[in-house]
Structure 1
Protein backbone atom coordinates (compact mmCIF):
# COMPACT_ATOMS: atom_id res chain seq x y z
CA UNK A 1 0.00 0.00 0.00
CA UNK A 2 1.27 3.44 -0.89
CA UNK A 3 -0.05 6.72 0.50
CA UNK A 4 0.90 10.18 -0.73
CA UNK A 5 -0.27 13.46 0.75
CA UNK A 6 0.61 17.13 0.55
CA UNK A 7 1.31 18.72 3.93
CA UNK A 8 -1.23 21.49 4.71
CA UNK A 9 -0.31 25.15 4.37
CA UNK A 10 -0.70 25.86 8.08
CA UNK A 11 1.62 23.09 9.28
CA UNK A 12 4.79 24.22 11.07
CA UNK A 13 8.20 23.29 9.71
CA UNK A 14 9.54 20.26 11.56
CA UNK A 15 11.71 17.18 11.19
CA UNK A 16 10.36 14.04 9.54
CA UNK A 17 10.83 12.28 12.88
CA UNK A 18 8.72 14.89 14.69
CA UNK A 19 6.03 14.77 11.99
CA UNK A 20 5.55 11.03 12.35
CA UNK A 21 5.86 10.70 16.12
CA UNK A 22 4.18 13.85 17.43
CA UNK A 23 2.14 15.56 14.69
CA UNK A 24 0.68 12.31 13.35
CA UNK A 25 1.09 10.19 16.52
CA UNK A 26 2.22 7.24 14.40
CA UNK A 27 2.96 4.12 16.46
CA UNK A 28 6.60 3.14 17.01
CA UNK A 29 6.22 -0.10 15.03
CA UNK A 30 5.10 1.70 11.87
CA UNK A 31 7.83 4.34 12.21
CA UNK A 32 10.43 1.61 12.64
CA UNK A 33 9.25 -0.30 9.56
CA UNK A 34 9.27 2.83 7.40
CA UNK A 35 12.79 3.61 8.49
CA UNK A 36 14.26 0.11 8.23
CA UNK A 37 12.65 -0.60 4.86
CA UNK A 38 13.41 2.90 3.53
CA UNK A 39 9.76 3.33 2.62
CA UNK A 40 9.37 7.05 3.31
CA UNK A 41 9.90 9.69 0.62
CA UNK A 42 9.76 13.49 0.63
CA UNK A 43 9.02 15.12 -2.73
CA UNK A 44 9.92 11.89 -4.48
CA UNK A 45 13.29 11.41 -2.75
CA UNK A 46 14.20 8.97 0.02
CA UNK A 47 13.72 10.81 3.30
CA UNK A 48 16.27 11.45 6.02
CA UNK A 49 14.68 11.21 9.47
CA UNK A 50 16.12 14.56 10.53
CA UNK A 51 15.41 16.57 7.40
CA UNK A 52 12.90 19.41 7.65
CA UNK A 53 9.49 19.29 6.04
CA UNK A 54 6.84 21.98 5.84
CA UNK A 55 3.83 23.31 3.94
CA UNK A 56 3.17 21.81 0.48
CA UNK A 57 5.84 19.11 0.82
CA UNK A 58 4.71 15.77 -0.61
CA UNK A 59 5.07 12.85 1.79
CA UNK A 60 4.87 9.30 0.41
CA UNK A 61 4.71 6.22 2.64
CA UNK A 62 4.89 2.62 1.47
CA UNK A 63 3.63 -0.31 3.54
CA UNK A 64 3.82 -4.02 2.81
CA UNK A 65 0.84 -6.25 3.60
CA UNK A 66 2.83 -8.04 6.33
CA UNK A 67 3.32 -4.69 8.10
CA UNK A 68 -0.25 -4.93 9.37
CA UNK A 69 -2.44 -7.48 11.09
CA UNK A 70 -4.75 -9.17 8.59
CA UNK A 71 -8.45 -8.43 9.02
CA UNK A 72 -11.26 -10.54 7.58
CA UNK A 73 -14.83 -9.26 7.78
CA UNK A 74 -17.68 -10.90 5.91
CA UNK A 75 -19.15 -8.31 3.49
CA UNK A 76 -22.74 -7.25 4.12
CA UNK A 77 -25.13 -5.15 2.05
CA UNK A 78 -23.53 -1.97 0.60
CA UNK A 79 -26.98 -0.36 0.34
CA UNK A 80 -27.20 -0.35 4.15
CA UNK A 81 -24.17 1.92 4.49
CA UNK A 82 -25.53 5.49 4.70
CA UNK A 83 -22.36 7.47 3.91
CA UNK A 84 -22.07 10.97 5.42
CA UNK A 85 -18.39 11.69 4.66
CA UNK A 86 -15.53 9.94 2.91
CA UNK A 87 -11.94 10.67 1.96
CA UNK A 88 -8.91 8.51 1.19
CA UNK A 89 -8.45 7.51 4.83
CA UNK A 90 -11.70 7.99 6.76
CA UNK A 91 -15.39 7.31 6.33
CA UNK A 92 -18.34 8.42 8.50
CA UNK A 93 -21.57 6.46 8.35
CA UNK A 94 -25.07 7.12 9.72
CA UNK A 95 -25.93 4.01 11.75
CA UNK A 96 -29.59 3.08 12.09
CA UNK A 97 -31.01 2.08 15.44
CA UNK A 98 -31.13 -1.65 16.14
CA UNK A 99 -27.86 -2.41 14.32
CA UNK A 100 -24.58 -3.23 16.02
CA UNK A 101 -21.47 -1.28 15.06
CA UNK A 102 -19.52 -4.53 14.70
CA UNK A 103 -20.44 -8.17 15.13
CA UNK A 104 -19.34 -10.43 17.98
CA UNK A 105 -18.65 -13.29 15.59
CA UNK A 106 -17.61 -13.64 11.93
CA UNK A 107 -21.14 -14.76 11.04
CA UNK A 108 -22.93 -11.78 12.63
CA UNK A 109 -23.63 -8.96 10.20
CA UNK A 110 -23.29 -5.42 11.53
CA UNK A 111 -22.55 -1.89 10.30
CA UNK A 112 -18.88 -2.73 9.81
CA UNK A 113 -19.84 -5.51 7.38
CA UNK A 114 -22.01 -3.16 5.33
CA UNK A 115 -19.27 -0.51 5.17
CA UNK A 116 -16.82 -3.21 4.10
CA UNK A 117 -19.18 -4.19 1.29
CA UNK A 118 -19.56 -0.55 0.22
CA UNK A 119 -15.79 -0.03 0.12
CA UNK A 120 -15.04 -3.49 -1.26
CA UNK A 121 -12.18 -3.31 1.23
CA UNK A 122 -11.73 -3.59 5.01
CA UNK A 123 -13.25 -0.97 7.29
CA UNK A 124 -11.77 -0.52 10.76
CA UNK A 125 -13.86 0.55 13.76
CA UNK A 126 -12.61 3.73 15.46
CA UNK A 127 -15.45 3.95 17.99
CA UNK A 128 -18.81 2.31 18.48
CA UNK A 129 -22.39 3.20 19.27
CA UNK A 130 -24.71 1.00 21.30
CA UNK A 131 -26.99 -1.17 19.20
CA UNK A 132 -30.03 0.90 20.23
CA UNK A 133 -28.36 4.24 19.38
CA UNK A 134 -28.42 5.74 15.89
CA UNK A 135 -26.12 8.30 14.30
CA UNK A 136 -22.60 9.10 13.15
CA UNK A 137 -19.92 6.42 13.39
CA UNK A 138 -16.33 6.91 12.26
CA UNK A 139 -14.34 4.17 10.50
CA UNK A 140 -10.75 4.07 9.28
CA UNK A 141 -10.23 2.86 5.72
CA UNK A 142 -6.69 1.60 6.30
CA UNK A 143 -4.36 0.53 9.10
CA UNK A 144 -2.05 3.49 8.51
CA UNK A 145 -4.64 5.98 9.76
CA UNK A 146 -6.27 3.63 12.31
CA UNK A 147 -3.83 4.08 15.24
CA UNK A 148 -3.46 7.78 14.47
CA UNK A 149 -7.19 8.52 14.57
CA UNK A 150 -7.57 6.05 17.46
CA UNK A 151 -5.18 8.04 19.62
CA UNK A 152 -7.03 11.26 18.82
CA UNK A 153 -10.23 9.56 19.95
CA UNK A 154 -8.61 8.36 23.19
CA UNK A 155 -7.45 11.92 23.87
CA UNK A 156 -11.09 13.12 23.52
CA UNK A 157 -10.22 15.30 20.53
CA UNK A 158 -13.07 13.83 18.49
CA UNK A 159 -16.15 15.71 19.62
CA UNK A 160 -19.63 14.21 19.42
CA UNK A 161 -23.05 15.71 20.12
CA UNK A 162 -25.97 13.46 20.99
CA UNK A 163 -29.67 14.24 21.01
CA UNK A 164 -31.99 12.47 23.43
CA UNK A 165 -35.64 12.59 24.38
CA UNK A 166 -35.89 12.06 28.14
CA UNK A 167 -38.57 11.57 30.75
CA UNK A 168 -39.48 14.87 32.47
CA UNK A 169 -37.26 17.92 32.30
CA UNK A 170 -34.35 19.59 34.06
CA UNK A 171 -34.84 22.72 36.15
CA UNK A 172 -31.74 24.24 34.53
CA UNK A 173 -31.32 24.88 30.83
CA UNK A 174 -27.62 23.99 30.97
CA UNK A 175 -25.78 21.78 33.42
CA UNK A 176 -22.68 19.61 33.58
CA UNK A 177 -22.60 16.23 35.31
CA UNK A 178 -19.36 15.07 36.95
CA UNK A 179 -20.26 11.53 37.99
CA UNK A 180 -17.91 8.56 37.90
CA UNK A 181 -19.26 5.46 36.18
CA UNK A 182 -18.59 1.81 36.95
CA UNK A 183 -20.11 -1.56 36.14
CA UNK A 184 -23.23 -2.63 38.04
CA UNK A 185 -22.24 -5.49 40.38
CA UNK A 186 -25.72 -6.98 40.16
CA UNK A 187 -26.16 -6.77 36.38
CA UNK A 188 -23.09 -7.11 34.16
CA UNK A 189 -24.93 -5.50 31.24
CA UNK A 190 -25.51 -2.26 33.14
CA UNK A 191 -23.38 0.58 34.47
CA UNK A 192 -24.03 2.83 37.45
CA UNK A 193 -22.81 6.05 39.00
CA UNK A 194 -20.09 5.02 41.43
CA UNK A 195 -17.40 6.90 43.37
CA UNK A 196 -15.03 4.04 42.53
CA UNK A 197 -15.87 4.22 38.84
CA UNK A 198 -14.04 5.99 36.03
CA UNK A 199 -14.25 9.74 35.54
CA UNK A 200 -17.19 10.77 33.36
CA UNK A 201 -18.29 14.28 32.35
CA UNK A 202 -21.43 15.08 30.36
CA UNK A 203 -22.68 18.53 29.34
CA UNK A 204 -26.46 18.76 28.97
CA UNK A 205 -28.47 21.48 27.23
CA UNK A 206 -32.27 21.49 27.12
CA UNK A 207 -33.46 22.37 23.62
CA UNK A 208 -37.19 21.98 24.15
CA UNK A 209 -39.66 20.45 26.59
CA UNK A 210 -43.29 19.55 27.09
CA UNK A 211 -45.23 18.43 30.15
CA UNK A 212 -43.82 14.92 29.98
CA UNK A 213 -40.67 14.97 27.89
CA UNK A 214 -37.60 17.01 27.01
CA UNK A 215 -35.26 17.17 24.07
CA UNK A 216 -31.68 17.54 25.29
CA UNK A 217 -28.31 17.78 23.61
CA UNK A 218 -25.43 16.01 25.32
CA UNK A 219 -21.75 16.55 24.64
CA UNK A 220 -19.03 14.44 26.20
CA UNK A 221 -15.66 15.20 27.72
CA UNK A 222 -15.15 11.48 28.30
CA UNK A 223 -16.33 8.37 26.49
CA UNK A 224 -17.46 5.82 29.07
CA UNK A 225 -19.71 2.93 28.12
CA UNK A 226 -23.40 3.94 28.42
CA UNK A 227 -22.26 7.34 29.75
CA UNK A 228 -25.20 9.43 28.54
CA UNK A 229 -27.73 6.74 29.42
CA UNK A 230 -26.36 6.34 32.95
CA UNK A 231 -25.96 10.05 33.64
CA UNK A 232 -29.46 10.98 32.46
CA UNK A 233 -31.01 8.08 34.34
CA UNK A 234 -29.14 9.01 37.52
CA UNK A 235 -30.78 12.45 37.40
CA UNK A 236 -34.25 10.90 37.22
CA UNK A 237 -34.59 11.62 33.50
CA UNK A 238 -33.96 8.34 31.66
CA UNK A 239 -34.01 8.23 27.89
CA UNK A 240 -37.36 7.28 26.38
CA UNK A 241 -37.24 3.73 25.05
CA UNK A 242 -34.02 2.76 26.86
CA UNK A 243 -34.38 -0.98 27.48
CA UNK A 244 -31.81 -1.03 30.32
CA UNK A 245 -32.25 2.21 32.20
CA UNK A 246 -35.93 2.94 31.46
CA UNK A 247 -37.39 -0.55 30.90
CA UNK A 248 -41.00 0.51 31.48
CA UNK A 249 -40.97 3.00 28.62
CA UNK A 250 -43.39 2.04 25.83
CA UNK A 251 -41.43 3.71 23.01
CA UNK A 252 -40.37 1.17 20.37
CA UNK A 253 -36.81 2.53 20.04
CA UNK A 254 -34.33 4.24 22.31
CA UNK A 255 -34.53 7.98 21.63
CA UNK A 256 -30.78 8.64 21.47
CA UNK A 257 -29.02 9.83 18.32
CA UNK A 258 -25.39 10.77 17.66
CA UNK A 259 -26.23 13.88 15.65
CA UNK A 260 -22.83 15.44 15.01
CA UNK A 261 -19.15 14.51 14.97
CA UNK A 262 -16.28 16.99 14.60
CA UNK A 263 -12.49 16.85 14.73
CA UNK A 264 -9.35 18.14 13.06
CA UNK A 265 -8.24 15.73 10.34
CA UNK A 266 -4.88 14.40 11.57
CA UNK A 267 -3.31 14.36 8.09
CA UNK A 268 -4.81 17.31 6.23
CA UNK A 269 -5.38 19.62 9.21
CA UNK A 270 -8.88 20.27 7.87
CA UNK A 271 -11.74 20.94 10.30
CA UNK A 272 -14.26 18.14 9.82
CA UNK A 273 -17.81 18.65 11.10
CA UNK A 274 -20.47 16.18 9.98
CA UNK A 275 -24.16 16.15 10.92
CA UNK A 276 -26.15 12.91 10.90
CA UNK A 277 -29.84 13.36 10.00
CA UNK A 278 -32.56 11.19 11.52
CA UNK A 279 -36.11 10.57 10.35
CA UNK A 280 -37.14 9.60 13.88
CA UNK A 281 -36.26 12.95 15.46
CA UNK A 282 -38.43 15.62 13.79
CA UNK A 283 -39.65 18.83 15.38
CA UNK A 284 -40.54 22.37 14.28
CA UNK A 285 -37.60 23.93 16.16
CA UNK A 286 -35.10 21.13 15.99
CA UNK A 287 -34.66 18.49 13.29
CA UNK A 288 -34.06 15.94 16.04
CA UNK A 289 -37.29 15.85 18.06
CA UNK A 290 -40.35 13.83 17.20
CA UNK A 291 -43.59 15.77 17.05
CA UNK A 292 -46.38 14.56 19.26
CA UNK A 293 -44.27 13.59 22.25
Structure 2
Protein backbone atom coordinates (compact mmCIF):
# COMPACT_ATOMS: atom_id res chain seq x y z
CA UNK A 1 0.00 0.00 0.00
CA UNK A 2 1.33 3.41 -1.00
CA UNK A 3 -0.05 6.65 0.42
CA UNK A 4 0.92 10.17 -0.55
CA UNK A 5 0.38 13.29 1.56
CA UNK A 6 1.29 16.83 0.56
CA UNK A 7 2.35 18.69 3.71
CA UNK A 8 -0.08 21.63 4.14
CA UNK A 9 1.22 25.21 4.19
CA UNK A 10 0.00 25.64 7.77
CA UNK A 11 2.26 22.87 9.08
CA UNK A 12 5.49 23.99 10.83
CA UNK A 13 8.85 22.62 9.75
CA UNK A 14 9.63 19.39 11.60
CA UNK A 15 11.59 16.17 11.28
CA UNK A 16 10.21 13.03 9.66
CA UNK A 17 10.22 11.38 13.10
CA UNK A 18 8.15 14.22 14.61
CA UNK A 19 5.70 14.16 11.71
CA UNK A 20 5.03 10.42 11.92
CA UNK A 21 4.92 10.32 15.71
CA UNK A 22 3.19 13.55 16.72
CA UNK A 23 1.03 14.45 13.70
CA UNK A 24 0.23 11.21 11.88
CA UNK A 25 0.09 9.23 15.17
CA UNK A 26 1.51 6.11 13.52
CA UNK A 27 2.06 3.41 16.20
CA UNK A 28 5.63 2.78 17.35
CA UNK A 29 5.77 -0.71 15.86
CA UNK A 30 4.71 0.58 12.43
CA UNK A 31 7.15 3.50 12.63
CA UNK A 32 9.90 0.96 13.28
CA UNK A 33 8.93 -0.98 10.14
CA UNK A 34 8.85 2.21 8.07
CA UNK A 35 12.30 3.23 9.27
CA UNK A 36 14.07 -0.13 8.97
CA UNK A 37 12.55 -0.87 5.56
CA UNK A 38 13.22 2.68 4.33
CA UNK A 39 9.56 3.00 3.37
CA UNK A 40 9.36 6.76 3.85
CA UNK A 41 10.18 9.15 1.02
CA UNK A 42 10.04 12.91 0.78
CA UNK A 43 9.71 14.31 -2.75
CA UNK A 44 10.68 10.89 -4.12
CA UNK A 45 13.89 10.57 -2.09
CA UNK A 46 14.58 8.13 0.73
CA UNK A 47 15.54 10.24 3.71
CA UNK A 48 17.11 10.14 7.16
CA UNK A 49 14.73 9.86 10.13
CA UNK A 50 15.87 13.26 11.38
CA UNK A 51 15.54 14.92 7.97
CA UNK A 52 13.30 18.02 7.94
CA UNK A 53 10.01 18.14 6.09
CA UNK A 54 8.58 21.44 4.95
CA UNK A 55 5.17 22.72 3.83
CA UNK A 56 4.58 21.66 0.23
CA UNK A 57 6.73 18.53 0.47
CA UNK A 58 5.28 15.27 -0.85
CA UNK A 59 5.43 12.50 1.75
CA UNK A 60 5.14 8.91 0.48
CA UNK A 61 4.55 6.03 2.89
CA UNK A 62 4.70 2.36 1.90
CA UNK A 63 3.07 -0.30 4.07
CA UNK A 64 3.50 -4.06 3.75
CA UNK A 65 0.87 -6.66 4.58
CA UNK A 66 2.67 -7.44 7.85
CA UNK A 67 2.40 -3.76 8.88
CA UNK A 68 -1.37 -3.69 8.61
CA UNK A 69 -2.77 -7.19 7.98
CA UNK A 70 -5.92 -6.93 5.87
CA UNK A 71 -9.17 -7.96 7.51
CA UNK A 72 -11.48 -10.04 5.36
CA UNK A 73 -15.12 -8.95 5.58
CA UNK A 74 -18.19 -10.53 3.99
CA UNK A 75 -19.14 -8.64 0.86
CA UNK A 76 -21.93 -6.09 1.12
CA UNK A 77 -23.86 -4.48 -1.70
CA UNK A 78 -22.21 -1.75 -3.77
CA UNK A 79 -24.34 1.35 -4.21
CA UNK A 80 -26.66 0.56 -1.31
CA UNK A 81 -25.58 3.59 0.71
CA UNK A 82 -25.27 7.28 -0.21
CA UNK A 83 -21.71 8.65 -0.20
CA UNK A 84 -21.60 12.19 1.23
CA UNK A 85 -17.83 12.75 0.99
CA UNK A 86 -14.84 10.69 -0.11
CA UNK A 87 -11.13 11.13 -0.71
CA UNK A 88 -8.10 8.82 -0.58
CA UNK A 89 -8.26 8.51 3.20
CA UNK A 90 -11.80 9.22 4.41
CA UNK A 91 -15.35 8.35 3.43
CA UNK A 92 -18.59 9.65 4.99
CA UNK A 93 -21.86 7.90 4.17
CA UNK A 94 -25.55 8.38 4.94
CA UNK A 95 -26.71 5.36 6.94
CA UNK A 96 -30.36 4.32 6.56
CA UNK A 97 -32.42 3.48 9.62
CA UNK A 98 -32.64 -0.21 10.54
CA UNK A 99 -29.04 -1.05 9.56
CA UNK A 100 -26.25 -1.82 12.02
CA UNK A 101 -23.04 0.19 11.69
CA UNK A 102 -20.84 -2.78 12.54
CA UNK A 103 -21.90 -6.41 12.66
CA UNK A 104 -21.63 -8.22 15.99
CA UNK A 105 -21.02 -11.52 14.24
CA UNK A 106 -18.10 -11.92 11.75
CA UNK A 107 -20.54 -13.16 9.12
CA UNK A 108 -23.13 -10.41 9.68
CA UNK A 109 -23.61 -7.87 6.88
CA UNK A 110 -23.69 -4.30 8.23
CA UNK A 111 -22.96 -0.77 7.01
CA UNK A 112 -19.21 -1.42 7.30
CA UNK A 113 -19.46 -4.25 4.78
CA UNK A 114 -21.35 -2.11 2.27
CA UNK A 115 -18.87 0.77 2.60
CA UNK A 116 -15.87 -1.55 2.22
CA UNK A 117 -17.42 -3.06 -0.91
CA UNK A 118 -18.14 0.43 -2.25
CA UNK A 119 -14.46 1.50 -2.04
CA UNK A 120 -12.97 -1.91 -2.83
CA UNK A 121 -10.99 -2.16 0.42
CA UNK A 122 -11.56 -2.75 4.12
CA UNK A 123 -12.69 0.39 5.94
CA UNK A 124 -12.63 1.22 9.63
CA UNK A 125 -15.47 2.69 11.73
CA UNK A 126 -14.58 5.96 13.48
CA UNK A 127 -17.91 6.35 15.30
CA UNK A 128 -21.14 4.38 15.32
CA UNK A 129 -24.83 5.08 15.12
CA UNK A 130 -27.48 2.91 16.75
CA UNK A 131 -29.19 0.55 14.32
CA UNK A 132 -32.43 2.57 14.44
CA UNK A 133 -30.64 5.93 13.92
CA UNK A 134 -29.99 7.23 10.42
CA UNK A 135 -27.48 9.76 9.13
CA UNK A 136 -23.83 10.63 8.59
CA UNK A 137 -21.16 8.10 9.64
CA UNK A 138 -17.40 8.61 9.28
CA UNK A 139 -15.05 5.82 8.15
CA UNK A 140 -11.28 5.65 7.70
CA UNK A 141 -10.26 4.12 4.37
CA UNK A 142 -6.87 3.00 5.66
CA UNK A 143 -5.51 1.95 9.06
CA UNK A 144 -2.93 4.71 9.44
CA UNK A 145 -5.48 7.56 9.32
CA UNK A 146 -7.72 5.78 11.85
CA UNK A 147 -5.86 6.80 15.06
CA UNK A 148 -5.79 10.43 13.89
CA UNK A 149 -9.56 10.48 13.40
CA UNK A 150 -10.05 8.67 16.71
CA UNK A 151 -8.04 11.36 18.46
CA UNK A 152 -10.08 14.12 16.78
CA UNK A 153 -13.20 12.40 18.09
CA UNK A 154 -11.73 12.00 21.58
CA UNK A 155 -10.71 15.67 21.67
CA UNK A 156 -14.23 16.67 20.55
CA UNK A 157 -12.93 18.14 17.31
CA UNK A 158 -15.50 16.28 15.21
CA UNK A 159 -18.81 18.14 15.43
CA UNK A 160 -21.98 16.04 15.19
CA UNK A 161 -25.48 17.51 15.02
CA UNK A 162 -28.61 15.36 15.28
CA UNK A 163 -32.28 16.05 14.63
CA UNK A 164 -34.74 14.47 17.06
CA UNK A 165 -38.51 14.57 17.40
CA UNK A 166 -39.25 14.19 21.09
CA UNK A 167 -42.39 13.97 23.19
CA UNK A 168 -43.82 17.01 24.89
CA UNK A 169 -43.22 20.72 24.52
CA UNK A 170 -39.70 21.86 25.40
CA UNK A 171 -40.04 25.38 26.75
CA UNK A 172 -36.47 26.74 26.58
CA UNK A 173 -34.80 27.47 23.23
CA UNK A 174 -31.40 26.20 24.39
CA UNK A 175 -30.69 23.55 26.98
CA UNK A 176 -27.56 21.65 28.04
CA UNK A 177 -28.00 18.24 29.68
CA UNK A 178 -25.05 16.99 31.77
CA UNK A 179 -26.47 13.94 33.55
CA UNK A 180 -24.05 11.03 33.83
CA UNK A 181 -25.00 7.83 32.01
CA UNK A 182 -24.59 4.25 33.20
CA UNK A 183 -25.85 0.76 32.40
CA UNK A 184 -29.33 -0.42 33.32
CA UNK A 185 -28.68 -3.52 35.43
CA UNK A 186 -32.24 -4.74 34.78
CA UNK A 187 -31.96 -4.58 30.97
CA UNK A 188 -28.57 -4.97 29.25
CA UNK A 189 -29.91 -3.29 26.10
CA UNK A 190 -30.61 -0.03 27.91
CA UNK A 191 -28.74 2.83 29.56
CA UNK A 192 -29.98 5.20 32.24
CA UNK A 193 -29.00 8.35 34.10
CA UNK A 194 -26.70 7.46 36.99
CA UNK A 195 -25.19 10.63 38.42
CA UNK A 196 -23.33 8.67 41.11
CA UNK A 197 -21.56 5.91 39.14
CA UNK A 198 -22.20 6.82 35.50
CA UNK A 199 -19.86 8.27 32.87
CA UNK A 200 -19.88 12.00 32.20
CA UNK A 201 -22.03 13.06 29.27
CA UNK A 202 -22.99 16.40 27.75
CA UNK A 203 -25.69 17.11 25.17
CA UNK A 204 -26.60 20.55 23.85
CA UNK A 205 -30.26 20.81 22.82
CA UNK A 206 -31.76 23.56 20.63
CA UNK A 207 -35.51 23.83 20.03
CA UNK A 208 -36.27 24.04 16.31
CA UNK A 209 -40.08 24.09 16.43
CA UNK A 210 -43.16 22.54 18.03
CA UNK A 211 -45.10 19.93 16.06
CA UNK A 212 -48.44 19.15 17.73
CA UNK A 213 -47.58 18.01 21.24
CA UNK A 214 -44.03 17.16 20.25
CA UNK A 215 -40.80 19.16 19.85
CA UNK A 216 -38.33 19.03 16.96
CA UNK A 217 -34.86 19.67 18.39
CA UNK A 218 -31.28 19.68 17.17
CA UNK A 219 -28.70 18.13 19.47
CA UNK A 220 -24.92 18.51 19.56
CA UNK A 221 -22.79 15.97 21.35
CA UNK A 222 -19.72 16.78 23.39
CA UNK A 223 -19.38 13.15 24.44
CA UNK A 224 -20.38 9.93 22.73
CA UNK A 225 -21.98 7.66 25.30
CA UNK A 226 -24.17 4.79 24.16
CA UNK A 227 -27.77 6.01 23.62
CA UNK A 228 -26.71 9.43 24.96
CA UNK A 229 -29.35 11.62 23.29
CA UNK A 230 -32.04 8.99 23.79
CA UNK A 231 -31.30 8.64 27.52
CA UNK A 232 -30.84 12.33 28.23
CA UNK A 233 -34.12 13.35 26.59
CA UNK A 234 -36.16 10.47 27.99
CA UNK A 235 -34.86 11.07 31.52
CA UNK A 236 -36.29 14.59 31.40
CA UNK A 237 -39.68 13.47 30.10
CA UNK A 238 -38.97 14.06 26.41
CA UNK A 239 -38.35 10.57 25.03
CA UNK A 240 -37.72 10.40 21.30
CA UNK A 241 -40.80 9.46 19.28
CA UNK A 242 -40.63 5.89 17.97
CA UNK A 243 -37.87 4.84 20.38
CA UNK A 244 -38.40 1.11 21.01
CA UNK A 245 -36.49 1.21 24.32
CA UNK A 246 -37.33 4.54 25.94
CA UNK A 247 -40.61 5.81 24.47
CA UNK A 248 -44.25 4.74 24.46
CA UNK A 249 -45.11 6.96 21.47
CA UNK A 250 -44.81 4.81 18.39
CA UNK A 251 -43.77 5.79 14.87
CA UNK A 252 -42.60 4.02 11.74
CA UNK A 253 -39.00 4.63 12.85
CA UNK A 254 -36.87 6.06 15.66
CA UNK A 255 -37.05 9.81 15.10
CA UNK A 256 -33.34 10.45 15.52
CA UNK A 257 -31.16 11.43 12.56
CA UNK A 258 -27.47 12.41 12.38
CA UNK A 259 -27.92 15.41 10.12
CA UNK A 260 -24.53 17.12 10.08
CA UNK A 261 -20.91 16.14 10.60
CA UNK A 262 -17.93 18.48 10.32
CA UNK A 263 -14.22 18.49 11.18
CA UNK A 264 -10.84 19.70 9.96
CA UNK A 265 -9.21 17.25 7.56
CA UNK A 266 -6.00 16.05 9.26
CA UNK A 267 -3.92 16.07 6.08
CA UNK A 268 -5.21 19.06 4.11
CA UNK A 269 -6.51 21.12 7.08
CA UNK A 270 -9.59 22.06 5.05
CA UNK A 271 -12.98 22.04 6.78
CA UNK A 272 -15.06 19.01 5.80
CA UNK A 273 -18.77 19.52 6.41
CA UNK A 274 -21.58 17.29 5.19
CA UNK A 275 -25.36 17.31 5.54
CA UNK A 276 -27.36 14.09 5.41
CA UNK A 277 -31.02 13.90 4.45
CA UNK A 278 -33.49 11.18 5.45
CA UNK A 279 -36.66 10.58 3.45
CA UNK A 280 -38.23 8.41 6.15
CA UNK A 281 -37.53 10.99 8.89
CA UNK A 282 -39.02 13.78 6.79
CA UNK A 283 -42.09 11.70 5.91
CA UNK A 284 -43.00 11.32 9.60
CA UNK A 285 -42.62 15.07 10.13
CA UNK A 286 -44.72 15.82 7.04
CA UNK A 287 -47.47 13.45 8.18
CA UNK A 288 -47.64 15.11 11.57
CA UNK A 289 -47.79 18.57 9.96
CA UNK A 290 -50.62 17.46 7.67
CA UNK A 291 -52.56 16.17 10.67
CA UNK A 292 -52.33 19.65 12.19
CA UNK A 293 -53.80 21.30 9.14
Which one of 285, 288, 291 corresponds to residue 292 of structure 1? Answer: 288
In structure 2, the residue matched to 1:136 is 136
Which has the larger displacement, 55-64 or 13-22? 13-22
- The superposition leaves residues 197-238 of structure 1 with CA deviations (integer Å, 9 ceiling, x where unpaired) of 111000000011134111100001111111000001111000
Gaps spanning 5+ residues in structure 2: where? none
Asked if structure 1 preserves the Cα contact closer than 8 Å seen for 2:95 and 2:111, the reply is yes
Residues 280 and 290, structure 1, Cα contact 8 Å, conserved in 2? no
Tell me the SS of whatever aligns to 1:67: coil
1:25–1:151 CA contact under 8 A, matched in 2 = no
Which moves more between the two structures, 127-136 or 73-82?
A: 73-82
* Number of the residue aligned with 1:263: 263
Mean CA deviation greater in 213-222 or 3-12: 3-12
In 2, Cα distance between equivalents of 1:58 and 1:112: 31
1:57 Cα deviation after fit: 0.5
- Residue number in structure 2 paired with 1:35: 35
Q: Which runs of 5+ in 1 are unaligned?
A: none
Deviates more, 1:39-48 or 1:221-230: 39-48
Q: State the distance in 2 between where 1:200 and 1:168 align.
A: 23
1:19 is matched with: 19
Please, what TM-score do these two structures have when normalized by structure 2?
0.94
Residue 209 of structure 2 corresponds to 208
Q: Note the alpha carbon deviations across 1:77-106, whole angstroms, 9 max, x for none.
A: 112121111000111110000000111113
How far apart are the structure 2 equivalents of 1:281 and 1:134? 9
CA contact (8 A) 2:81 2:96 kept: no
Cα RMSD after superposing both structures: 1.6
The answer on whether the counterparts of 2:211 and 2:288 sit within 8 Å (CA) in structure 1 is no
Superposed, which structure 2 residues align to 1:114-193 within 5 Å?
114-193=114-193
Cα separation, 2, equivalents of 1:7 and 1:170? 47
3-state DSSP class of the match of 1:91?
strand
1:223 matched to 2:224? The reply is yes
User: 2:199 aligns to what?
Assistant: 198
* 1:240-261 deviation per Cα after TM superposition (whole angstroms, max 9, x unaligned): 0000011x22202000000011
Give, in whole Å, the separation in 1 of the partners of 2:154 and 2:28: 17
> Which stretch shows the higher mean deviation, 220-229 or 43-52?
43-52
Give the alignment of 1:76-87 within 5 angstroms.
76-87=76-87
Residue 289 to residue 262, structure 1, CA distance change in 2 (3 Å)? farther
* 1:105 alignment partner in structure 2: 105
Look up the match of 2:246: 245
Distance 2:29 2:165 in 1: 45
Q: Give the structure-1-normalised TM-score.
A: 0.94
Compute the displacement of 1:36 (Å): 1.9
Task: For 2:265 and 2:285, locate their aligned partners in 1 and report how far apart those are by CA, in whole Å.
Answer: 30
Q: Mean alpha-carbon deviation: is it higher for 70-79 or for 91-100?
A: 70-79
1:88 matched to 2:102? The reply is no
Distance 1:152 1:250 in 2: 36
SS in 1 for 2:279: coil
Task: Provide the rounded CA distance (Å) in 2 between the counterparts of 1:165 and 1:237.
Answer: 9
Deviant stretches of 4+, over 4 Å: none
